[in-house]
Structure 1
Amino acid sequence: MSKKIIFKAFLVFTFLLLLDILLYSFFELSFKGYFSDISIFWGWFILSIIVIILYWKKKAAKIYLGGLATAILVSILPMLIPFIAIILSMTPHGLYYSQPLPNDYRVQIVNYTPLGKPQLELIENKGLFEKHLNVIKDFDLDLGGRYISQIEKISLLKEDEKSVSLLLHLDQDTREIKFQKSTGNLYPAPEIV
């Protein structure tokens, strides 16, 4: 491959990574699927290394390497917490459970921080992108003394014009949670089914 093709691929991955970060930061949208974000990140990272090696004689490559090294070091300084969060969010190790649901929904249980507990995310498919409707933490739910990490299965119970209801399976117990579609907010406390 020529240097120009590799550099163009690097620019495309850089653009996709920046677009993904901006869309998620401002609109809670990301590319469809859990592994698309991971693939974009690792494609960008590998191409960054290749571009630095290919263009090592240029001053810009050395500055870019210095910037990447500084960013990694700065993320390691505060007890590794940001560094581990990056590792968990850019590898499959942050994903505990993922379940596609009918009617263009997906639910997943993830944990992107070493100090936090897993959280449940309800995601709506919007074509090429996905909209994160809600992120639910343990204190948002009454699971009878159990935690989100103990959920064994999640299924779509019902959907109407205004809401989506999920059934959480915990041991022999099940709990229903209901979301407003417009805001993603939970309706009153989960009911025992």
Structure 2
Amino acid sequence: MGIDNNEILSLRIKNRKKIFFSVYMIVTMLLLVDVTAILLWQISLAGYWTDRLVFWTWFLSTFAFLIVFWKSILTKIYLFVLILGLLMSIVPMMLPFYGILFSSTGMERRSYYTPEYGKYRVQLIQSVMSRPRLQIIENKGIVEQVILFTDADFLKSDHVKVGYESVIRLDVLKDSPDSLTLKFYTPSQEIEKSFMKLD
């Protein structure tokens, strides 16, 4: 006695659901590990857009996950937790919400520069409640780490409409385990500045 077509189709659907569930869990775990590493150690996946790609992959696949597994009570609880988390990010003056929006879309970055040798990346980051800040990120292979996050007032200029000049070139003058001396080239000036690295 053979298996009819309906049973075969049902088995295929179940297998595809299992595969999709496994992939979604992997993407979710990758996102959680990435966010945890950023918050605790300032370490993220290499490349400015890599973390954002992980976030948007998770975000879009979440819609599919909710549709595919909607009949489960756990899925409904999961949706409630996601909505509650979104609402909680909006309550405190929408700062966490704007933080998620800016970081996931790239709207936070006003300008950036990566030297040709690729060890460091410099970017000017805007914030909802404060002046733009400077991030210096060190490339460590498949991951990168923020080694400096400080104010960007030394890049302030009366000649620029937005108030802060873009970095068009960068030279590393001194690179020690605890400090970094850089020479910034902007459209109107050259600035040499030393920084203490983050612990």
- TM-score (ref. length: structure 1): 0.82
Give the equivalent residue in structure 2 for 1:100: 114
Which structure 2 residues correspond to residues 35-114 of structure 1 after superposition, within 5 A?
Answer: 35-101=49-115, 102-111=117-126, 113-114=127-128
Residue of 31, 48, 60 corresponding to 1:17: 31
Contact 1:143/1:175, CA 8 A, preserved across alignment: no
Give the equivalent residue in structure 1 for 2:10: none
CA displacement at 1:166 relative to structure 2: 2.4
CA displacement at 1:37 relative to structure 2: 0.8
Give the equivalent residue in structure 1 for 2:182: 166
Residue of 153, 170, 186 corresponding to 1:156: 170
Cα gap change, 1:108 to 1:149, in 2 (>3 Å): farther
Could you tell me how far apart the structure 1 residues matched to 2:184 and 2:137 are?
Answer: 16
Secondary structure of the structure 1 residue equivalent to 2:85: helix
Over residues 20-64 of structure 1, what are the superposed CA-to-partner deviations in whole Å (9 max), with x where a residue is unaligned? 112122221110011111111111111111111100000000000
Give the equivalent residue in structure 1 for 2:193: 177
Contact 1:106/1:123, CA 8 A, preserved across alignment: yes
Cα gap change, 1:134 to 1:59, in 2 (>3 Å): same
CA displacement at 1:144 relative to structure 2: 6.9
Could you tell me how far apart the structure 2 residues matched to 1:106 and 1:20 are?
Answer: 19
Q: How many residues align?
A: 181
The share of aligned pairs that are identical, in percent, is: 29
Q: 4-13 vs 30-39, which deviates more?
A: 4-13
Q: Which has the larger radius of gyration?
A: 2
- TM-score (ref. length: structure 2): 0.80
Give the equivalent residue in structure 1 for 2:9: none
- Partner AA of 2:194 in structure 1: K
Contact 1:150/1:170, CA 8 A, preserved across alignment: no
CA displacement at 1:169 relative to structure 2: 3.3
Cα gap change, 1:173 to 1:74, in 2 (>3 Å): same
- Partner AA of 1:167 in structure 2: K
CA displacement at 1:131 relative to structure 2: 1.1
Over residues 92-137 of structure 1, what are the superposed CA-to-partner deviations in whole Å (9 max), with x where a residue is unaligned? 21111121112511111112x3222211111110011001110111
Secondary structure of the structure 2 residue equivalent to 1:45: helix
- Partner AA of 2:93 in structure 1: M
Over residues 160-179 of structure 1, what are the superposed CA-to-partner deviations in whole Å (9 max), with x where a residue is unaligned? 45154322234422211223
Secondary structure of the structure 1 residue equivalent to 2:18: helix
Contact 2:34/2:45, CA 8 A, preserved across alignment: yes
Cα RMSD for the two superposed structures:
2.5
Give the equivalent residue in structure 2 for 1:191: none
